[in-house]
A and B are shown apart, each in its own frame.
Chain A
């Protein structure tokens, strides 16, 4: 009940394209869903986050879509750039407690 499943494992996108990463969770009590971006040799950094009472959140080129009934949420990266090449993790938490992370998606954006 604590799992967060993430797909795809890896993603190759051309510059300017849309990158889409999907996650599904089981515990309906989760109340906060952040996405983290991690570059090699660095710790994860918060990218964008959403609460389950909102269906979509947009910050610049990054958008989270949230489907509470399906227990799914996704990250869309519009106009993907080579600098977006990194590993992306979805996560979920309850009462601002420990983060439960997905397995990660390695994104490569080619010029």
Chain B
């Protein structure tokens, strides 16, 4: 159990560019969540997967955002045509439904700065 891993830790990009983040969940965790956290606020839910199926997407997730979890393992979150308002910490969490299913373990996050 090596914990939830996120890459990169920091990303600086220019407005209008596309960015992609990766999350590797704890092995054997079948649920994977994406949250966004802005300064001074609590994390806000974006989307989550159970295995490879994307079960829910927040209204916060505009059509510029897309997430995938191929083969039910790692996940990617892509933001197209980034805007300054996308600057935030993007957090990934994983859990194991069915056993201690309520505990979501978070990664350290990817901090995105859009210039």
Contacts and interface: CB of A to CB of B under 8 A. Distances in A.
Interface string B74-115: 000000000000000001010101000111111111000000
B41 interface: yes
Interface string A82-111: 000000010101001111111110000000
Contact of A42 (B33, B45, B102, B108): B108
Given A44-B43, A101-B42, A93 B108 contact: no
The interface centre, meaning the residue of B4, B95, B104 with most chain A CB atoms within 10 A of its CB, is: B104
Contact of B104 (A6, A99, A102, A103): A99
A41 B45 contact: no
Interface string A7-46: 0000000000000000000000000101010000111111
A78 interface: no
A57 B39 CA distance: 30
Interface of A: 6, 32, 34, 36, 41-46, 49, 89, 91, 93, 96-104
Interface of B: 4, 33, 35, 40-45, 48, 56, 58, 91, 93, 95, 97, 101-109
B48 A34 contact: no
B21 to A, nearest CB: 13
B95 A103 contact: no
A101 B43 contact: yes
Contacts of A91: 42
